[in-house]
Amino acid sequence: MSALSDLLPPEAIRLDIRATDWKHAVRDAGDLLVATGTSTAAYTDEMIRNVEENGPYLVIAPGFAFAHARPSPAVRRTGMSWVRLAVPVDFGHETNDPVTLVVALAATDAAAHTAAMASLARLLGDPETSRALHEAPTPTALHAVLARQGDVRPVQQAAPAAPAQDRPAAPGMHKILTVCGNGVGTSLFLKNTLEQVLDRWKWSRFVTVEATDTISAKGKASEAVAILTSREIARTLGDVGVPVKVVEDFTSTTEVDGVLRDTYDV
């Protein structure tokens, strides 16, 4: 699996640029993917269309939009770009607007970038590192922060007891779905944050997490104890027969911890 700093070279980073609106910001991020040979301009159009069709669910944390679309022939290789805006823009998100950071992902499949997503989730969820990324004066300086992502460790918290419901072994493990429009971007981000919380609780033996898209989630809902997703995707899913929990900040282990406690009545 590729490291974050490998998928996001200095050439794919632009700082303090000016965008007139969210489409302009996403297109700037897409242009960097094109310039580094990661995708074609058609993929940039697909990222914009994803927002138009599914809403601003990709604004997954305050000020942070994670732009992406499904794997397609327009993706030449898995890679990312990073655009920090001089002036924030609105995507239409109820709680996380305005956006100052747009990170774009072009993926050939869901496997190649999972480690990078885990690293990015930890980086942006750590206040000190997130501040360093927002204050980095040059693309090279920002890339150096990304390259040090292995130094970021989640803060340990007290762990509740294992799930009371039968404390299942592997064959009967509880499953939680994290869901986004495409199953390769924001759902993986939320999956990684949830897994951090499960590791802290020492519940990873009892609960497995699967990232998926909205269509697949409806078919898999019966296998799960709950679905975690954004407000926009929750509306799209509707009633699927299991609790659908809304998470506003996909980088916040504190918020996800609270959602997990509510799910299991801890």
SS3 176: strand
- 134 given a catalytic annotation: no
The single residue of 24, 68, 143, 174 carrying the catalytic annotation is 68
| Token reading at 185 | 């971007």
Q: What is d(CA 85, CA 71) in angstroms, rounded to the nearest whole number?
A: 26
SS3 231: helix
| Token reading at 74 | 């327009």
| Token reading at 144 | 């150096």
CA angle 246, 86, 50 (to 5 degrees): 40
Q: What are the DSSP E strand ranges found in 71-116?
A: 79-89, 99-106
* Residues constituting the chain: 266
Q: What is d(CA 120, CA 118) in angstroms, rounded to the nearest whole number?
A: 6
| Token reading at 189 | 């981000």
Q: What is d(CA 262, CA 246) in angstroms, rounded to the nearest whole number?
A: 11
Query: What amino acid is encoded at 7 in this protein?
Result: L
Q: What is d(CA 98, CA 3) in angstroms, rounded to the nearest whole number?
A: 29
CA angle 144, 211, 186 (to 5 degrees): 45
Give the contacts of 253 (CB within 8 A, at least 6 positions apart).
125, 154, 155, 193, 196, 197, 200
Residues identified as active-site = 68
